[in-house]
Amino acid sequence: MKKLESQEQETECNDDDPVRVLKYCFIFALAYAALLAVIQFLPIEGGSGVNIGVLLGAVTAAVTVFVQDNERVPSKAERCRMTQGSLFFSFVVSFVASYILLSVNGLDPLALLTEWVDFVSPSLFGAAIIFMTLIY
């Protein structure tokens, strides 16, 4: 019975994690931004495959630093927190990168965003974000 209780506790994302994972989420964000920048300047047209590779590279960087710092793999709760933080930072980095690329190409990102919001219902967009967050 005790083993079952410990397994149940390990599946939850609780706040009493022994290691704070924000540092590793920032490492993920920096690696993700750096890899996106490198891919932008390389003549690669791989679509979603390249994007998945960029995400995997950023995750590998964050987890490698975690293992080096703590001399162990992250616990289930730490992995859960790192996933949530990395998901948030991937949205932030993608939004900032899109804003920069649109600005550099002479487009007004805010005007495009307002056009997009008129096209897509804000409640639908919010529901999609909530749904994706719940999945991860």
If one compares 17 and 55, the residue with the highest pLDDT of the two is 55
Q: CA 35, CA 51: separation in Å to the nearest integer?
A: 9
Crossing angle (nearest 10°) for helices 76-104 and 22-41: 40
Q: CA 121, CA 124: separation in Å to the nearest integer?
A: 5
74 Cβ contact list (under 8 Å, min separation 6)? 19, 21, 63, 66, 82
If one compares 33 and 48, the residue with the highest pLDDT of the two is 33
Q: Are 32 and 55 in contact (CB under 8 A)?
A: yes
The predicted structure's pLDDT at residue 61: 95
Cα 126 to chain centroid distance, Å, stands at: 17
Task: Round to the nearest angstrom and report the end-to-end CA distance of the chain.
Answer: 29
pTM of the model: 0.69
pLDDT digits (tens, 9 = 90+) for 69-110: 999 999 888 998 999 899 889 989 988 888 887 888 788 877
